[in-house]
Structure 1
Amino acid sequence: FGLILVGAFGAYSLGANNIANVMGVFVPAEPFQNIHFAGFLTFTGTQQLFLIGALAIAVGIFTYSYRVMITVGSQIFKLSPVTAFVVVLSESIVLFIFASEGLQNWLIAHGLPPIPLVPVSSSQAVVGAIIGIGIIKSRGSGINFNVLWKIGSGWITTPIAAGVLSFVALFFVQNVFERPVVKRAASEISQSVIEERFRNRAGEGEFGEKVKRFSQELKHGQPFLYPVFGAQK
């Protein structure tokens, strides 16, 4: 029963933290519109993304996760039900800490350094917990370091492989299919931006007078007749 509870907590923490790895990159694009139910319930586009990501994770669990679970659960170190409970609980707490906005706000309110809300590796957390159990139970003699080497190699090659694949895919999209790959953000020069930019530098001297005149021209819609850093008008 305890394993079921910590397993559920682990699944919750995994979803709270690692869903950003699956769908977080799509949030700025906002591909879905908000859906309103009965006039008072709103299913936002971000929530729809998270739902799709959760369903995809569930499908992956039922298809390709068996051999990975065997590797983690038995090939690094032989776990008993009690040690498995400790491993899953430790992993879950770590993931939850890096996903809990409430905990971060509590630390800030009490003058303590906040923990960043960032996605962390669940595999590193669980493997680290297993290594800790192995050191305590057998002083490291029962740990399969060959499997650890393979797992560590995967941690090193994963970001490299992902970066290379991303570069190649982006190259083909941009140069072969001639599709835009950059979403340019709209920007404008306003009086408030100029004043904020030069507030600490304007002072009362010649440079300050140029900034004030430049701001007045911009405020009244007059054309740019001289650069701020240039010569006299």
Structure 2
Amino acid sequence: MEIQIVKKMQKEARKSSGIDFMRLGFALFFMVAVLSYSFLSMGGVPNSMFLAIAALFGAYMAMNIGANDVANNVGPAVGSKALTMGGAIVIAAIFEASGALIAGGDVVNTIKKGIIDINAFGGDVNPFIWAMMASLLAASLWLNFATMIKAPVSTTHSIVGGVMGAGIAAAGFGIVNWTTMLKIASSWIISPILGGIIAALFLFSIKKTMVFKTDKIKAAVKWVPIFVAMMSWAFVTYLTIKGLNKVWPNIVDIFTFLPDTKKPTFLVAAIMGLVIAIIVYIFMKTRVNKKAHSIDNSREGLNRLFTVPLIFAAALLSFAHGANDVANAIGPLAAISDAVMTGGISEKAGIPLWIMGVGAIGIAMGLALYGPSLIRTVGSEITELDQMRAFSVAMAASITVIIASQLGLPVSSTHIAIGGIFGVGFLREFLHTTNIKDDIAQEKEEIADEKKLLKAYSRELETLDAKEHKNKEDYERIVDLYKKINDEEDNLKESKKSLKSSRKVKYVKRDTIKKIIAAWLITVPATAILSAMIFFMIKGIVL
């Protein structure tokens, strides 16, 4: 029997190592292909070797973004079983790459978030190139480590820390815009709290309007179209503000009736969202009415109505993420390319198509090869999600960004999504505690009664023991009392244990929370220190 178990373990180990080897092979092939293309196409340009190596780092960074950050977009849908793991990977890969290529823009800021002053380089291109290379590699290594320990972290904060650390190493602490850094640090608190509150509010409203009702089907016919229409408004507004902002001038050129602005205004985005929301409401009203007769009057029946909206939410979140966060991989790479090609340092740089392709394909490959681990963590290892809870998290992801963008608050999409999951988990704990208050009160009364009874039996036993002349009935009663006291002590222990377990129900896994928050807090300093070390290493090798 033991030999069979050992053989089975060996077979599984060989299978796992084979899959890991294949993943590594695909990843290395992609990076080598990027390195070769960059070197061969730019071979005659001075510093082309730096550009080729930077392209390698950019490909590595893009894959790490796909492996770590994309999980926040599709993890809740997978955890709630609205999507299978394979389906989520296919949808996310397509929409991430589409967002990067279609709406990623043709220009990026060379210095992420304006956290360092490029004038501090004094026009010297070489230290600038080394700093960008160091920031890319440091952010990539940190994301790789975070993915290994199953900690979803912000890729934006990773590259910010990398740029800051390399900038300090190149030109001292004066190069950093500390006001901007303070705003970024504040997002560690603002993002998860806002995301958690909004997700919890939406979940509570869903419960109050449908789940807690006796006739859940009747409530669903009324409220599901409203909630899905709200989601449509939020996502179209979110997508317009965050996903189309870089290509908005091109959209205005095509649709001339739109206001001629560099970026979409909130009013325009909100009106576009409202139009789509009305269409979605009418469609959902018809669909829910048709399905009402085939839906169970239960929580599971209600969950089925949120499956399709969740799939659309995962796709739209992935598109917006690809449009925005591809810059974390290709921003420094585009800066290096611009510096190599022009011999100068620019605040903004054009993005060659091949660099955009590196970012788009890299994110999709990283997701497909190494994304499932983080998708499982986000979807099921923080708290248990169903479709309604996942829907609330998706709503929080879009609405929080809209609110933050209007108030000028710095937020992280990663922290918002994880905060939303925390929010629905803690709401479950709160509602559980509220619901069992009466049970706890009853258990306390039972414990008090058992204690009184135990004392009464003990006093009677002491009286009988003290009696000098005992008859047969006395001895029988003493035996009976010992048995009753023993039974009551067992009952008392069970009651106390039951009361303790009722109070200790936790729907959010505390160990996972601690690990994730710790990773969030050290992301910027860790990547900054690592980036500074890599900068000095590159400088030492070159000089």
- Structure 2: how far apart are the matches of 1:165 and 1:74? 26
> Contact between 2:138 and 2:162, CA under 8 Å: does it hold in 1?
yes
Are 1:140 and 2:140 counterparts?
no
* Greater alpha carbon shift after TM alignment, 142-151 vs 170-179: 170-179
- Structure 2: how far apart are the matches of 1:156 and 1:67? 32
> Could you tell me which residue of structure 2 aligns to residue 82 of structure 1?
130
- Structure 2: how far apart are the matches of 1:68 and 1:26? 32
Matches within 5 A, 1:163-182: 163-178=196-211, 180=299
Q: Structure 2: give runs of 5+ residues left out of the alignment.
A: 1-51, 119-126, 212-219, 221-298, 304-384, 387-486, 493-543
Are 1:23 and 2:51 counterparts?
no
SS at match of 2:112: helix
When the two chains are superposed, the root-mean-square deviation of aligned CA atoms in Å is 3.2
- Structure 2: how far apart are the matches of 1:71 and 1:150? 19
Deviation of 1:154 after TM superposition, in Å, equals 2.6
**What is the TM-score when the length of structure 1 is the normalising length?**
0.58
- Structure 2: how far apart are the matches of 1:8 and 1:51? 20
* Greater alpha carbon shift after TM alignment, 144-153 vs 11-20: 144-153
- Structure 1: how far apart are the matches of 2:179 and 2:107? 15
> Could you tell me which residue of structure 1 aligns to residue 47 of structure 2?
none
Relative to structure 1, the CA distance from residue 99 to residue 84 in structure 2 (aligned partners, 3 Å threshold; closer, same or farther) is same
- Structure 2: how far apart are the matches of 1:150 and 1:62? 29
The residue type paired with residue 14 of structure 1 is I
Deviation of 1:132 after TM superposition, in Å, equals 1.1
Give the number of equivalent residue pairs. 162
> Could you tell me which residue of structure 1 aligns to residue 151 of structure 2?
118
Are 1:93 and 2:141 counterparts?
yes
The residue type paired with residue 141 of structure 2 is I
> Contact between 2:112 and 2:160, CA under 8 Å: does it hold in 1?
no
> Could you tell me which residue of structure 2 aligns to residue 128 of structure 1?
161
Deviation of 1:14 after TM superposition, in Å, equals 1.1
Matches within 5 A, 1:68-79: 70=109, 72-73=111-112, 75-77=114-116, 78=118
- One of 131, 135, 157 as aligned partner of 2:190: 157
Question: % of aligned pairs identical?
Answer: 25
> Could you tell me which residue of structure 2 aligns to residue 46 of structure 1?
85
- Structure 1: how far apart are the matches of 2:191 and 2:135? 24
The residue type paired with residue 53 of structure 1 is A
- Structure 2: how far apart are the matches of 1:4 and 1:80? 15
Q: Output one character per residue of 1:171-228: Cα deviation in whole Å (capped at 9) or x when no partner.
A: 2211124474776xxxxxxxxxxxxxxxxxxxxxxxxxxxxxxxxxxxxxxxxxx999
Q: Structure 1: give runs of 5+ residues left out of the alignment.
A: 33-44, 101-115, 184-225
Relative to structure 1, the CA distance from residue 48 to residue 68 in structure 2 (aligned partners, 3 Å threshold; closer, same or farther) is farther
Q: Output one character per residue of 1:65-115: Cα deviation in whole Å (capped at 9) or x when no partner.
A: 669952853711238222111101111111112224xxxxxxxxxxxxxxx
The residue type paired with residue 176 of structure 2 is I
Deviation of 1:63 after TM superposition, in Å, equals 6.8
The residue type paired with residue 209 of structure 2 is V
Structure number with higher relative contact order (C-alpha < 8 Å, ≥ 6 residues apart):
2
- Structure 1: how far apart are the matches of 2:174 and 2:57? 27
The residue type paired with residue 150 of structure 1 is K
> Contact between 2:57 and 2:136, CA under 8 Å: does it hold in 1?
yes
Relative to structure 1, the CA distance from residue 170 to residue 150 in structure 2 (aligned partners, 3 Å threshold; closer, same or farther) is same
The structure that has the greater radius of gyration is 2
- Structure 2: how far apart are the matches of 1:147 and 1:68? 22
Q: Output one character per residue of 1:40-75: Cα deviation in whole Å (capped at 9) or x when no partner.
A: xxxxx2021122223333344457766995285371
- One of 42, 57, 68 as aligned partner of 1:6: 57
- Structure 1: how far apart are the matches of 2:195 and 2:106? 22
Relative to structure 1, the CA distance from residue 153 to residue 168 in structure 2 (aligned partners, 3 Å threshold; closer, same or farther) is same
Relative to structure 1, the CA distance from residue 165 to residue 87 in structure 2 (aligned partners, 3 Å threshold; closer, same or farther) is same
Deviation of 1:134 after TM superposition, in Å, equals 2.2
Relative to structure 1, the CA distance from residue 176 to residue 142 in structure 2 (aligned partners, 3 Å threshold; closer, same or farther) is same
SS at match of 1:120: coil
> Contact between 1:14 and 1:122, CA under 8 Å: does it hold in 2?
yes
> Contact between 2:131 and 2:167, CA under 8 Å: does it hold in 1?
no
Deviation of 1:141 after TM superposition, in Å, equals 0.6
SS at match of 1:98: helix
The residue type paired with residue 145 of structure 2 is I
- Structure 1: how far apart are the matches of 2:190 and 2:111? 19
Relative to structure 1, the CA distance from residue 230 to residue 142 in structure 2 (aligned partners, 3 Å threshold; closer, same or farther) is closer
> Could you tell me which residue of structure 2 aligns to residue 57 of structure 1?
96
SS at match of 2:203: helix
**What is the TM-score when the length of structure 2 is the normalising length?**
0.27
Relative to structure 1, the CA distance from residue 31 to residue 157 in structure 2 (aligned partners, 3 Å threshold; closer, same or farther) is same
Matches within 5 A, 1:179-198: 180=299
- Structure 2: how far apart are the matches of 1:153 and 1:65? 26
